[in-house]
Structure 1
Amino acid sequence: MQHSVFFKPSTLAVAVASLCLLPGHLAASADNHNAEGEVVTVLGETYRHTATKSALAPQETPQGISVITSDAMQQRGVSSVSEALRFVPGVNTELRGGAVSRMDFYTIRGFDSDYNFYDGLPLQYNSWNLQPQIDPVAIEQIEVFKGPTSVLYGNIPPGGMVNIIAKAPQRTPQHSLTLASGTRRLAELQWDSTAQIGDSDFAYRFVGLVRKRDGQADTTKEERLVLAPSVNWYMSEQTLLNVNVYFQDDPHMGMYTSLPASGMVTPNPHGTTSPSTFPGSSHWNEYDRRVTMLGYKLQHRFQSGWVFLQNARYMDAKAYQENTYNNPAGLNDDQRTIGLNAYLTDEKSKGFAIDNQLSGQLTTGRFEHNLLFGIDYQRLKSDILYKDTSDNYAHTIDIFNPDHGVIDRGNLTFNYSQDLTIRSRQTGFYVQDQVRLGDLVLIGGGRYDLVKSDQETKALYQGFPSQSSEHADQKHFSFRVGGLYQLANGFSPYISYAESFEPVLGIDKNGKDFEPATGHQWEAGVKYEDSDRQATIALFQITKENTLVADPENIYGPKMQTGETESKGVEFEGQAYLTDALSLAVNYTYIDMEITKDTTGLQSKTPIWVPEQTATAWLNYAPYQGVFAGTEFGLGIRHIGETQMDAANSDTVPSYTLADLSVSYDLGGMDNDLTGSKVQVAASNLFDKEYYSCYDKANCWYGAEQSIELSLTLSY
């Protein structure tokens, strides 16, 4: 078997050249240093960096991490975490197209990721359709930790993780109200209020949102209500208690239905569909989700300087869905109609997660130790009812002239049903030591996990019942080590090794329980930082092992645990001020990914949704004097390379390049009392370019259409 070259010389040369050519003069550098000192206040006293679960800077961590601030999200007018990640290297977002907004799916360094964290605790997800989402209105920043992260967080895919940092109460009063309108009849109201409560030891924050708009697909709509209050109680100079609530109600969330590639990505004799085509029934298309999360953080600082943090959250969530799915054989012989089956899911999840951390510093000789000890625990119980007509795709729809009343809900007969109960529990014990010896930073950590998962299934097919169960009772140890050296010229070369694991349910043909799927990564790179610019170039190689594959002697029987996938590549991320008013952020990723072990003919194939090359750039101009003083201009370019259409790599999905634009004006230029208030226009996919994403030839989605949003923010 032939393997691709690890790194293309031209790719590496471009990245290194970009790093060296980043210009660097920033007149406001002193202000930047001051702002850096305010980060802890803005993010909250209980904030911990995702990469270390400590207050230590990401620049001291020998592993890749990217940060998206609330200002960047607001400037770009994003309405989901997936949209916020569009400019992050190594991440490919919106895998199911622009019309699907109910879930945040993406790949990180080639591996699927749908398991986010919110303030350091998992957003517990049942792997069906009930994925809690966090709206950007409640987000202070998003941190993307690249590569395996199990040493701190347990069960995580090897590509990396996304940690969403919540907006925290501030003692300094800040209040804002935002009204927005735009394409697809958008009507939106946001609010954000924070202050100390009188002369008390309490500070509050209350953020919220009401949004309504038409869905991208015909006959669909989207609605959302978010309420996120939180309170800080400064019990003493050493002790802080934060109590927080997140409530989200999504009575309508567009559509999930896919289209065949024919007439979209590939030619069809009858013409083409459009990004607004809805290949389903308006009488059988519903998604209603409600998520409530109640949490607290208790932090105590001992006189010795050690800090204890307990972070806990309870979740109660439910989602009801009515939908259809396509005949996997694709279009009928007429090349314009496709068969549909109707199905529904009714899902309820209740979960609890808690993380206990003790951190502090010790000095032994010339070595400074930043120690972290932790115990975390989580449990989740999900009840899922699934019903399916299973009637040989008896309902058909013309994708070029769809009849959205094709399904009569009163006459549906569900021939197949499943009643599932899923339970999972995970307990983790972890320790980390970040050691500094002069300019050398070393990090090492280990974690031991105990995981139990059970799934009980009761099925009924055409009156015939069946019952099955699967379980996993697994133990796993993960670790990471790394080193970074901070040179006097701002460069910090580093190298690291990290591991991940994911529990696997079931048994093999010999009745032996499956072991966890594991991953490991080698990463080497250089970080650079001064007052004017910041950049990281990283080379990585990730191998995931123990994935399930079919038994070639009985492809319909129990699976074998012999699969392996490898991802290797290079990432570049850089930001710099070209002048004191002009800044530029540039990102580039190259990934060479392939299935290296398989039993079903997929060996040496590239998984879907993994572009070989992606690149983004964002140019920002904010003059502080002259005729445009108070105005901020932003222009973004996103390029996503071609991807495979299906697992067999039988065809490709074309690459695409999109442009985004943002213009805002601070109303303080008209009246000093309005300083901080602004009017803004944000446009994504400015030239309304069509682009696509595919799972296979029967299931493709259009990317997001042109979106233009006009907003008015009043700050006081």
Structure 2
Amino acid sequence: MKPSLPFRPTLLAVAIATSTSLAYSEETNTDTESLDTLDTLEVKGQMYRNTATKTQLDPEETPQVISIVSSEELEERSVESLNQALRYTAAINTELRGGAITRLDQFNTRGFDNDLVYYDGLPLLYNQQFLQAQVDATAVEQIEVFKGPASTLYGSMPPGGMVNLISKAPQKESKSSVEIGLGSDSKKEVSFDSTGALSDNINYRVLGLVRNKDGQANTSTEERIMIAPSLDITLSENTLLNINMYYQNDPSMGVYAPLPGVGTVYVNDTYGQLDSDTFLGDENFETSEREVLFFGYKLSHQLNDSWNFLQNARFTTADIYQETAFVYGVGDDGTGYRYAYATDEESTALVIDNQLSGFVDIGDAEHNILVGIDYSNIDSNYSDFDSAWDTTTGSYLNVPTINIYNPDNNQIDANALKASLIQGSDHDYETTTLGFYLQDQIRLDQWVLIAGGRYDQYDYKESGTLYYNAATENSSQNNFSGRLAALYELDNGLSPFVSYSQSFEPQAGKDTSGNSYVPTTSEQWETGVKYLGSGLAASIAAYEITKKDVLTADPNDLYNELQVGEIRSRGIELDASIALSQEVQISIAASIQDVEVTKDVTGIEGNTPIQIPEQQFSTWLSYLPNQGALVGSSFGAGIRYIGEMQMDAANTDTVPSYTLVDLSIGYDLAQLSPKWEGASVQFAVSNAFDETYFSCYSTDVCWYGADRSFELKGRYEF
């Protein structure tokens, strides 16, 4: 079934349619004075807005923690996914489904899961099933992580924080590069990046990528084709238009199914442990195809010396088709009992954000006012097809068992299996959100004060069949989110701050009594101090987040959920970047968190949610020699420690902690000969000692972490 029209014009919608640790984004530099200087906005585009404030104000003025992952860091570590990019960011746990699952960006921040990612200030499409629009790191200039609730500016958002990918913007200066990469798992990759001026009024940028590699799981492959062109057009002295497009085709995205706890975390006394590349599906019924296309524009108009209007809009269309078989139970002899399903999903999305910002002086206070209206519409169709139960054999029809210790991945007759699948769900659902927000950032001498509020109207419509039942639902919810914060800039470079902020997440549906759910709301208190100066950029913060009205299973009704849960997260986190000399720089990210279910009716009150490490620590050392025989080289080494996590919601066991080491070496070939001007090589290794580690959803559902991998890249810039 094809999805219905994604956007039905109304007078209101038409009216709307016409009307960004420490946010220090230093480039790696041998001059320690550069630590006190922000990158110019030109690198990120003239319409760049700070994720934390949606203004062009310096991020260090923001009294909440922001962490930045720069383009230099992305390149040095040969990052290709968001999960890899966030590995060295405090209080973020990435790769929740191990190293073999790459098709979704899934992580948690300050103890709360987050699958909603932003790109240039607008949310990337996610249909709450298996269809998520990913942006390849090749197209990303930097990543900004705004910690804590962000609903005051962005609407529906998990309370731990938000991640905003900043795209590579068109530049006036002509510059192009071609890069070729070869690596482990038969990885082959070619990418290019070209930017410059087409005329006095038009700058362009176009990026492209082709990648092919074997997946971590046996028989699996990962393929990607990406192209992203954009234009900056100066319409007048005061008006700038950016037009952008991003297309990504993933013909194969590896596997998704987990492995059982026995044989992974729990080593079998008789058969031992499964290999990290174990695959318990079947190559004849393992498909994952995704295609994503979006068009967008940003229109900036300077009304006068003080006021600016920015409209940021994007239309997205995406689809995914997948087939998979996975083990749902294991016998004592290692027999894995399997289940199969397929999904066919399509979604379209339209998002528009209108921002009016300006400066107003009232007495000695400078007010930076922001007024905004944003609108989003996501229209989706989801169909799934499930294995039929064979009452004669007491197993799923046409899905043979598998020996998990000696798997045969070529057993399924795909045609017979497809013919026996039963359609379980086929439903259309549409979400529409309209938000109004107001923010005032006040500078009074050395004080920076922020006050903001936002009102959201959320509507949900659903029709069709859902899990074999009729699915017809219409619900509406509204919410107000607020934010108050203050920061004081001392003359010695220290800036203590305190903030209070709120967030919400709509909850579609009703309980079995017919009562509609209300939005899940959260609030955070945060205090800390930032420092900038003398070759050091650092922040330390303490926070407490309380999430209320969490949906909880009804112990008396298998088909019902009660909105009575509450989760509290407390923590301390540190981010620091230190120039030890003109050649050596070290970054440190550390966090300690205590996350607890404080209200529940299923017996888990007082427990810690799964996949939340109590301690995390990472550090990265960069060495760029500026004299001697090593001039032109770059060396990097990192250590990542993730503390133990709870195995399941009942806290019956824990997933062991682990420590990983990453390495990087680069060289500018121009040091060998002027003929090699513009040529360089980069070699990076992830999990250098091939440490075995796990991520688990329960005692029966686990994944291996990413195996050791390496990549050698050659780049030519001209």
Alignment TM class, shorter chain as reference: over 0.9
Question: In 2, distance between residues paired with 1:90 and 1:69?
Answer: 18
- Equivalent residue for 1:402? 407
- Equivalent residue for 1:491? 494
- Equivalent residue for 2:456? 449
- Equivalent residue for 1:8? none
- Equivalent residue for 2:332? 333
Gaps of 5+ in 2: 1-21, 23-28, 390-394
**Contact 2:35 2:533 survives alignment (8 Å):** no
> SS in structure 2 opposite 1:283?
helix
User: Residue 405 of structure 2 aligns to which amino acid in structure 1?
Assistant: F
Question: In 1, distance between residues paired with 2:423 and 2:605?
Answer: 34
1:632 to 603, 619, 634: 634
Deviations 1:196-246 (A, max 9, x none): 11x431010001100001111100000000000001101122110000000
**Contact 2:320 2:344 survives alignment (8 Å):** yes
Relative to 1, partners in 2 of residues 1:558 and 1:31: Cα closer, same or farther, differing over 3 Å?
closer
- Equivalent residue for 1:316? 317
Question: In 1, distance between residues paired with 2:150 and 2:92?
Answer: 16
Question: In 2, distance between residues paired with 1:460 and 1:80?
Answer: 33
- Equivalent residue for 1:606? 608
1:656 to 647, 654, 658: 658
> SS in structure 1 opposite 2:86?
helix
1:99 has 2:100 as partner:
yes
**Contact 1:540 1:570 survives alignment (8 Å):** yes
Question: In 2, distance between residues paired with 1:618 and 1:29?
Answer: 17
Superposition TM-score, scaled by structure 1 size: 0.93
Alpha-carbon distance, 1:302 to partner: 1.8
1:384 to 361, 371, 382: 382
What is the 5 A alignment of 1:55-454? Answer: 55-197=56-198, 199-268=199-268, 269-327=270-328, 330-334=329-333, 336-391=334-389, 392-393=395-396, 395-412=400-417, 413-454=420-461
What is the 5 A alignment of 1:538-617? Answer: 538-552=541-555, 554-617=556-619
Deviations 1:374-407 (A, max 9, x none): 0000000000110000424453111111110132
Question: In 2, distance between residues paired with 1:313 and 1:472?
Answer: 25
- Equivalent residue for 2:697? 695
> SS in structure 2 opposite 1:82?
helix
User: Residue 254 of structure 1 aligns to which amino acid in structure 2?
Assistant: G
User: Residue 48 of structure 1 aligns to which amino acid in structure 2?
Assistant: R
> SS in structure 1 opposite 2:208?
strand
> SS in structure 2 opposite 1:79?
coil
Question: In 1, distance between residues paired with 2:575 and 2:462?
Answer: 42
Alpha-carbon distance, 1:79 to partner: 1.1
Question: In 1, distance between residues paired with 2:196 and 2:55?
Answer: 26
User: Residue 330 of structure 2 aligns to which amino acid in structure 1?
Assistant: L
Deviations 1:174-206 (A, max 9, x none): 111000001000110010000011x43101000
**Contact 2:686 2:709 survives alignment (8 Å):** yes
> SS in structure 2 opposite 1:603?
coil
- Equivalent residue for 1:536? 539
Alpha-carbon distance, 1:602 to partner: 1.1
Question: In 1, distance between residues paired with 2:531 and 2:467?
Answer: 60
Question: In 2, distance between residues paired with 1:670 and 1:294?
Answer: 43
Gaps of 5+ in 1: 1-18, 20-25
Question: In 1, distance between residues paired with 2:162 and 2:505?
Answer: 13
Deviations 1:73-110 (A, max 9, x none): 11101110110000000100000001111111000001
Relative to 1, partners in 2 of residues 1:302 and 1:278: Cα closer, same or farther, differing over 3 Å?
same
**Contact 2:217 2:254 survives alignment (8 Å):** yes
What is the 5 A alignment of 1:660-699? Answer: 660-672=662-674, 674-699=676-701
> SS in structure 1 opposite 2:41?
helix
Relative to 1, partners in 2 of residues 1:441 and 1:300: Cα closer, same or farther, differing over 3 Å?
same
**Contact 1:326 1:699 survives alignment (8 Å):** no
Q: Once structures 1 and 2 are overlaid, which stretch shifts more, 199-208 or 132-141? A: 199-208
Deviations 1:124-144 (A, max 9, x none): 210111100000000000111
Question: In 2, distance between residues paired with 1:555 and 1:246?
Answer: 45
Question: In 2, distance between residues paired with 1:527 and 1:401?
Answer: 55
**Contact 1:373 1:432 survives alignment (8 Å):** yes
Relative to 1, partners in 2 of residues 1:460 and 1:629: Cα closer, same or farther, differing over 3 Å?
closer
Question: In 1, distance between residues paired with 2:517 and 2:612?
Answer: 27
**Contact 1:472 1:504 survives alignment (8 Å):** no
> SS in structure 2 opposite 1:410?
helix
Deviations 1:640-682 (A, max 9, x none): 0011111111111100000000000012212346444311100
Alpha-carbon distance, 1:261 to partner: 1.1
- Equivalent residue for 1:22? none
Relative to 1, partners in 2 of residues 1:324 and 1:97: Cα closer, same or farther, differing over 3 Å?
same
**Contact 1:326 1:698 survives alignment (8 Å):** no
**Contact 1:429 1:447 survives alignment (8 Å):** yes
Deviation beyond 4 Å, 4+ runs, structure 1: 30-33
**Contact 1:359 1:370 survives alignment (8 Å):** yes
- Equivalent residue for 1:10? none
Alpha-carbon distance, 1:532 to partner: 1.0
- Equivalent residue for 1:469? 472
Alpha-carbon distance, 1:350 to partner: 0.6
Deviations 1:530-581 (A, max 9, x none): 15110010101001001111334x2224322111001101000100110100
Relative to 1, partners in 2 of residues 1:119 and 1:45: Cα closer, same or farther, differing over 3 Å?
same
RMSD: 1.6
Relative to 1, partners in 2 of residues 1:32 and 1:528: Cα closer, same or farther, differing over 3 Å?
closer
Question: In 2, distance between residues paired with 1:648 and 1:31?
Answer: 49
**Contact 1:381 1:422 survives alignment (8 Å):** yes
Aligned residues: 682
> SS in structure 1 opposite 2:472?
strand
User: Residue 472 of structure 1 aligns to which amino acid in structure 2?
Assistant: S
**Contact 1:390 1:416 survives alignment (8 Å):** no
